[in-house]
Structure 1
């Protein structure tokens, strides 16, 4: 169980917390309308990447195949923000469901790939399995079940993406580039998880240090917020890779190019797939 109650703070607009999890950021320390200010605000990273993906793929067909994962990522930003803003069980459920949906959208895409007959059966199977997992962790009140299953899905996605790169891309330059993207995505998730672990394991020490530093410097030590930013970057890279692999398989030789542009801050990358 991860639950760090806070002392003091403003009178909560949303009432008493009912979520099973409460992270290390002190509740309602800035405004009565947002329980965890930084943890809520940093969900803008998910929204940012979702909009980038939708903008780059809006004209591609079939529309749902290319953009469903980005709508799922948008849902992650909204669901997670609602959880951290209210600390209500409904918000926590929206957060967990959205994470499952985003991971399932990518997992479905990289497993089915171009095998259309398997598209619907796999989608139904994933939906049933994840619904069962969600119900189980809800009944048992064990958020660790959600985290273990989510991490397992990411591991399968990573391995499958590497396999598809080696099987479908003939251009050695693009093999190096796409493997580098896959590694960067994995590293983003790993770094984000490191921040998450430190935030959970050293909450007391972090709170003392934050109070000493004061605002706004203390916000840099809200490590769960960094988890949001890094996992958003990792998810976006894998979603862009899934699209590239699909287009490369249609192209037949894997020679389509990927342009990676740095945005601010350096953590944010925009990925553009050249289809010419």
Structure 2
């Protein structure tokens, strides 16, 4: 892929064995972390996952929601391990959980309205898809195959909710604006991250030169792959919240929760009992 660079300085983890080595200079800030900013930026996945799981438990959310937030944490852990070491084994720990977690998201998206159509079959098909991608990717070791396989799942979770929002908007007109806002901000954050990911890949030399001439702290702004993590972490969290809220509406349980924003972070929390009695 254009813009991906050969191994840089060898550090604690030895020579680069991964099939990808990103634009951030290797072992620049620590001999123990291959790509410092690409590694630490994955904290966004852990923080949002913890917040999501905490609130999901408080509102007695379905297992699918908790699994979705857990998937974010697993992806963040795998990505940090990959960028921190640039070894092939850790690369698989990053890329394969992206497929598995997205399969959970797809299941939640397709099985939105009760009683659900063929939930067992949906689970089997998604499990088979995940197994197929795993086996073929390990055999081919082709990053493009992984990226296309992942894009198929992202397309489903990006397009199907449009129909859900329109349907729920007719049933609960007061929620339609909020649902669309959450959808647009989540998907928009993800797409912006994807744009920066591509720019980083294709214009790596230019950004490396800019970073070296700029120095800290401003050079961090040019670590576009780290921004990809931050933006997709936020967007993925928002998409799980959207799925959770739509599911509650579909089940007729939206009166048991409150939808709030803590700064820029959407959350679903238990509704105050006094307010529920007054409604």
TM-score by length of 2: 0.89
Are the structure 2 counterparts of residues 214 and 32 from structure 1 closer, same or farther at C-alpha, using a change threshold of 3 Å?
Answer: same
Question: Does residue 1:168 correspond to 2:168, yes or no?
Answer: yes
Tell me which residue corresponds to 1:265: none
Do 1:248 and 1:255's aligned partners in 2 also have CA atoms closer than 8 Å? Answer: no
Q: Is the 8 A contact 1:79 1:94 kept in 2?
A: yes
Match in the other structure for 1:152: 152
Q: Point out the more displaced range, 100-109 or 199-208.
A: 100-109
- Relative contact order, higher structure (CA 8 A, sep 6+): 2
| Distance apart, 1:134 and its partner CA | 2.8
Do residues 249 (structure 1) and 250 (structure 2) align?
yes
Superposed displacement of residue 255, structure 1: 9.9
Contact 1:174–1:255, Cα closer than 8 Å, also in 2 = no
State the 1:6 CA deviation. Answer: 4.7
Aligned length: 269
Residue 29 (structure 2) aligns with: 30
Q: Please list, as runs of the form range in 1=range in 2, the aligned pairs for 1:1-276 lying within 5 A after superposition.
A: 1=1, 3-7=4-8, 9=9, 11-61=10-60, 63-113=62-112, 114-115=114-115, 118-169=118-169, 170-251=171-252, 257-262=258-263, 268-273=264-269, 275=271, 276=276
Q: Does the CA contact (< 8 Å) of 2:39 and 2:84 recur in 1?
A: yes
Q: Measured at CA, do residues 144 and 115 of structure 1 come closer, stay the same or move farther in structure 2, by a change above 3 Å?
A: farther
CA deviation profile, 1:135-167 (whole Å, cap 9, x unmatched): 223322211121122222122112211211222
Counterpart-to-counterpart distance in 1, 2:153 and 2:200: 23
SS at match of 1:138: helix
Deviation at 1:260, TM superposition (A): 1.9
Once the two structures are overlaid, the 10-residue window that deviates more, 127-136 or 172-181, is: 127-136
CA distance in 2 between partners of 1:274 and 1:165 (Å): 22
Q: Which runs of 5+ in 1 are unaligned?
A: 263-267
Q: Any stretches of 5+ residues in structure 2 without a counterpart? A: none
Structural RMSD (CA): 2.1
Query: Which secondary structure does the structure 2 equivalent of 1:20 belong to?
Result: coil
Structure 1 CA distance, aligned partners of 2:148 and 2:31? 33
* d(CA) in 1 for partners of 2:90, 2:157: 26
Structure 1 residue 14, shift from structure 2 partner: 0.7
| SS of structure 1 residue aligned to 2:58 | coil
Q: Kindly tell me: are residues 139 and 222 of structure 1, through their superposed partners in 2, closer, same or farther at Cα, counting changes over 3 Å?
A: same
Residues 1:59 and 1:261: Cα distance change in structure 2 (over 3 Å): closer
CA distance in 2 between counterparts of 1:134 and 1:66 reads 24
TM-superposed CA distance for 1:120, in Å, is 3.2
Q: Give TM-score, length-normalised by structure 1.
A: 0.90
